[in-house]
């Protein structure tokens, strides 16, 4: 059973070692990659994601700054801040953690980040380039999933892939990347969502099933084909430990699906560490523009 588990934390650690070498090479050329993360409000999940991004960045030698703004901050103030970092030489990447408070227009904020510093790969310019298969910053979670599949030896070419979820951050981009003529692509992709009829029927056809819905354990064993590869993107808080730490569950009913899957990612320790690591990769890529 153990060897069925795709340990994202281990793959991510390998990639971080590769990045350290690139960062050392940049240092010899007097370039230290600079990242700024902007958190608006006090969403506990966002707080822990941003803290993890900063921690990882610093551990690699990336100069990472976290800016925390109150939930009441006006959109104009946030836009001004982004403009300041757009112009700042030593900042290579700007990340605004989503979701933003309701009074802010998310797409206006994303559009304000210069595409050259959009290390999340959310700006329409980068989304367009990704769709065309051209050089750009790939969005971190889908890029992390591709790397996990490639480095775990999963054949995507000709595979039936079913993506459950159509978010801009995961569902749409992973579907797009997996149909492209590239490594980790060449798949036949179906995207399921809240209006899909017969979700189970679609899921049962999947050689590779990607769950990105945000509902704990909705993908059950009866929805999974024997031998399928299951990638769980969900990070759902299902309770707290006695010490107040969040208890997490994925979108997949891991214990039961493990019996049927040929490979499966756990939560935590699966896709999550890959997302953060691909952000580091994008930040290093951004810093190379300064050499």
The site for ligand GUN (CB under 6 A) is made up of 95-98, 120, 140-141, 169, 275
> Minimal distance in Å, beta carbon 29 to ligand GUN?
28
Nearer of residues 96 and 203 to ligand GUN, judged by Cβ? 96
Q: Identify which of residues 43 and 196 has a Cβ nearer to ligand GUN in the complex.
A: 43
Q: Which of 92, 118, 120, 253 is catalytic?
A: 120
Q: Which residues contact 182 (CB under 8 A, 6 or more apart)?
A: 133
- Annotation marks residue 245 as catalytic: no
Q: What is the largest CA-CA distance in the chain?
A: 56
CB of 122 to ligand GUN, least distance (A): 7
Apex 268 CA angle, 265 and 270, nearest 5? 30
Distance from C-alpha of 142 to C-alpha of 126, rounded to nearest angstrom: 14
Identify whether 63 is a catalytic site residue. Answer: no
How many Cα atoms occupy the beta-carbon half-sphere of 173 within 13 Å? 25
Residue closer to ligand GUN, measured from CB, 137 or 203: 137
Residue 266 to residues 138, 256, 269: CA-CA distances in angstroms? 23, 12, 6
User: Contacts from 41-45 at CB under 8 Å and sequence distance 24+?
Assistant: 41/69, 41/70, 41/71, 41/100, 41/101, 42/71, 43/99, 44/237, 44/246, 45/235, 45/237, 45/246
Q: Which is nearer to ligand GUN, 110 or 203 (CB)?
A: 110
Cβ 102 to ligand GUN shortest distance, Å: 15
**Distance of alpha carbon 180 from alpha carbon 217, whole angstroms:** 29
Instruction: Tell me if residue 53 is catalytic.
Output: yes
Q: How far is the CB of 135 from ligand GUN (least distance, A)?
A: 20
Considering the complex, state which of residue 177 and residue 258 has its C-beta at the smaller distance from ligand GUN: 177
- Which residue has tokens 């050259």? 116
CB of 258 vs ligand GUN, minimal distance in Å: 26
Contact 73, 96 (CB under 8 A): no
Q: Which of 92, 97, 118, 225 is catalytic?
A: 97
Name the closest residue to ligand GUN (Cβ): 98
With a CB cutoff of 8 Å and minimum separation 6, the contacts of 81 are 38, 67, 69
Active site residues: 53, 97, 120
């Amino acid at each position: 059973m153990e060897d069925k588990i795709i340990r994202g934390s281990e793959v991510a650690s390998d990639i971080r070692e590769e990045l350290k070498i690139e960062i050392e090479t940049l240092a010899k050329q007097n370039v230290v990659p600079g990242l700024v993360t902007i958190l608006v409000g006090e969403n506990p999940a966002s707080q822990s994601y941003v803290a993890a991004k900063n921690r990882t960045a610093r551990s690699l030698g990336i100069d990472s700054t976290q800016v925390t703004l109150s939930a009441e901050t006006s959109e104009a103030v946030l836009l001004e801040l982004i403009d300041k970092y757009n112009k700042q030489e030593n900042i290579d990447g700007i990340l605004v953690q989503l979701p933003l408070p309701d009074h802010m227009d998310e797409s206006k904020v994303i559009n304000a980040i210069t595409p050259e510093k959009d290390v999340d790969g959310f700006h329409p310019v980068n989304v367009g380039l990704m769709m065309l298969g051209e050089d750009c910053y790939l969005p971190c979670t889908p890029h992390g999933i591709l790397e996990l599949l490639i480095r775990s030896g999963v054949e995507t070419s000709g595979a039936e892939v079913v993506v459950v979820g159509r978010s801009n951050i995961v569902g749409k981009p992973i579907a797009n990347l997996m149909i492209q003529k590239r490594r980790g692509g060449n798949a036949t992709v179906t995207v399921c969502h809240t209006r899909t009829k017969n979700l189970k029927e679609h899921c049962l056809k999947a050689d590779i099933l990607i769950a990105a819905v945000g509902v704990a354990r909705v993908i059950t064993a009866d929805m999974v084909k024997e031998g399928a590869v299951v990638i769980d993107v969900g990070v759902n808080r299902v309770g707290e430990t006695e010490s107040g730490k969040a208890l997490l569950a994925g979108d997949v009913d891991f214990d039961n699906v493990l019996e049927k899957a040929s490979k499966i990612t756990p939560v935590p320790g699966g896709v999550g560490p890959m997302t953060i690591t691909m952000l580091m990769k994008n930040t290093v890529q951004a810093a190379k523009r300064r050499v």
